[in-house]
Structure 1
């Protein structure tokens, strides 16, 4: 199969018929065999009913329905898990991403040899409240990651199949897919200017809070990528430095006390010296960082159920059965 299109969706019942018809038309015109995975992220409208109706008419359309809203990254994770096409393309369900970009995104992977191609919404149809924070976020991410892309958060991207099978997207890490690919060893990352269309139905499901969570995820990802296999290099260094500061303070206070005793100088209680409490705090924090900080990170990363989600239904349209439930 040439392409798998993964479409996360949340309350997008109006746009789905037009989107899937558009994808089908583009794929047929360019003679691309395809499948579309529509991942319903716990919609409260009639989105799943529309997915079922569309899949009944076109066996290339497949669906996944979450029992509740998990977020875009889990939706992508489940879509990637089921994708089988040589090239995997992600796009939003709100019709702001144009399916007309699919053939060129496919060609850049197959012919130009890119591992991943990220879309760049050079001209955006969004208010300043979204575009300005996005520009700032992209500039910081570009500087921190060393990946020269203009738009990390664009939902329209294409991947070689082994890329999506090799990376693990969770939390809100969908904003950092290029960095995830880079850490997995896929460094041939390209960029393509794509059309960004004005929203036709509904409203945006993302608020300004994604700016804060995006930076937190970036910090987390940079830490995991750099220190995930050697956390002692970070926590051990910080813990040792703080412990040394505390120990040095204790020795200094103790030395001062002995000097006063030896020379019959006025004596003050050790507890009257503020450095005593600073020393205790530094030694305690150093011990905590050294012993428990990196262990907690390792436990979290090795948790077997971090990417287990309650999938209510999987619509496959195969001969064995059109629906199956996963829990």
Structure 2
């Protein structure tokens, strides 16, 4: 495409050979009527099936299609990052490539963006997934995330989201943090809203998600809480906790010292002696950890931005 597009749609795929053709057809039908220039960036995340070869075969049929092939399976967050880095649009929409997200919802997301929002998140209110293994853990996780991060969304796990490019381009996504992008951009004051979107049952292929992801989501949630409160001042958290423990241990040891030298009591067999030493050592370790965390955070914010993925080829 010669001119810079208004919209970039970023879609990571992994072993979705049966979904590629209907996905491109549905995107073509949904986007050609929006009245704005667009591109679709499909990131093949090291697929082991025919996904990449099918994409290359269909590329001449869709001039708006850009394919990014990663060298191996880096994970969904890295694939999203690769697509976002190569996106040229003013607005970037992310979605899954398994046909469960509906491209016909994209115009609704764009309409909300044009109202002045920076992020529009999809809400799969009528979600077509198993209740016990997918919906129930998701409902519990979404409620917990909303409460602890203070970014109120019903569905953090929905990949169908729209972002202003200047908001999302400055965010580094790694690990499993793609679902927490609204939280990350909220740190800089982004305006966030949510709309209901359609969710279809999976027809082809196998889901890459399971209940085992719940634990990883909880770990990422702890990271988000840390980022929200202490991202630029980790010493405040570790130093305060360590200082309190050190003072408690010092107080215990001072009390035992008084008993020993002024009252002649034997303190060598008292568990309180060991507790006091443990508190002092733990407090010193936490303060040291805080200092190291300060150095790490400064390196993080001042680094040159080394990428977490490796691109094999870009097909334009």
Same fold (TM over 0.5): yes
Two-structure CA RMSD over aligned residues (Å): 1.6
Match of 1:260 in 2: 263
Distance 1:97 1:106 in 2: 15
Asked if 1:302 is matched to 2:299, the reply is yes
Distance in 1 of aligned mates of 2:26 and 2:145 = 33
Distance 1:120 1:189, change over 3 A: same
Map of 1:125 onto structure 2:
128
In structure 2, how many angstroms separate the alpha carbons of the residues matched to 1:195 and 1:157?
Answer: 13
Counterparts of 2:165 and 2:299, CA distance in 1 = 25
| Contact preservation (8 Å) 1:114, 1:189 | yes
- Aligned equivalents of 1:297, 1:51: Cα separation in 2: 45
Aligned to 1:292: 289
Structure 1 CA distance for aligned equivalents of residues 96 and 130 of structure 2: 18
Q: Unaligned stretches of 5+ in structure 1? A: 262-266, 318-327
Using the alignment, how far apart are the partners of 1:114 and 1:211 within structure 2? Answer: 29
Q: What residue number does 1:323 align with?
A: none
**Residue by residue, what CA displacement relative to the aligned partner does 1:128-170 show, whole Å, maximum 9, x if unpaired?**
1100000000111111121221111111101111111122211
Deviation of 1:63 (Å)? 1.3
Q: Given the superposition, is the C-alpha separation of residues 120 and 298 from structure 1 closer, same or farther in structure 2, using an over 3 Å criterion?
A: farther
3-state secondary structure, aligned to 2:195: strand
Tell whether the 8 Å contact from 1:11 to 1:45 is kept in structure 2 after alignment: yes
**Structure 1 residue 103 displacement after superposition:** 1.1
SS class of match (1:272): coil
Count of aligned pairs between the two proteins:
308
8 Å CA contact 1:2, 1:32 repeated in 2: yes
CA 1:206–1:297 in structure 2 vs 1: closer, same or farther (change >3 Å)? farther
For 2:181, what is the secondary structure of its paired residue? helix
Taking a change above 3 Å as real, the CA distance of residues 30 and 292 of structure 1, as seen in their structure-2 partners, is: closer
Larger Rg: 1
1:306 deviates by 6.0
**Cα separation, 1, equivalents of 2:47 and 2:109:** 29
> 1:67 maps to what in 2?
71
The aligned counterpart of 2:194 is: 191
Residue of structure 2 equivalent to 1:26? 30
CA distance in 2, matches of 1:271, 1:309: 57
1:297 deviation in Å? 6.3
Q: C-alpha displacement at 1:35, in angstroms?
A: 0.6
Find the residue that maps to 2:242 and give its secondary structure. Answer: helix
The answer to whether the 8 Å contact 2:94/2:161 transfers is: yes
User: Are the counterparts in 1 of residues 11 and 42 from structure 2 also a CA contact under 8 Å?
Assistant: yes
Contact 1:3–1:33, Cα closer than 8 Å, also in 2: yes
2: CA distance, partners of 1:114 / 1:48: 35
Distance 1:48 1:302, change over 3 A: farther
Cα contact 2:233–2:294 (8 A) shared by 1: no
Decide which of 103, 106, 113 is 1:102's aligned counterpart.
Answer: 106
Is the alpha carbon distance of 1:73 and 1:294 closer, same or farther for their aligned partners in structure 2, counting shifts above 3 Å?
farther
Unaligned regions of 5+ residues in structure 2, if any? none
Structure 2-normalised TM-score?
A: 0.93
Residue 236 in structure 1 maps to residue 236 in structure 2? no
Q: Deviations over 1:83-141 (max 9, x none)?
A: 1111111110000000000111112112x111010000000110011000000001111
Question: By how many angstroms is 1:298 displaced?
Answer: 4.1
Structure 1 residues 159 and 76, CA gap change in structure 2 (3 angstroms): same
Contact 1:54 1:61 in 2 (8 A): no
Question: What's the secondary structure of 1:29's corresponding residue?
Answer: coil
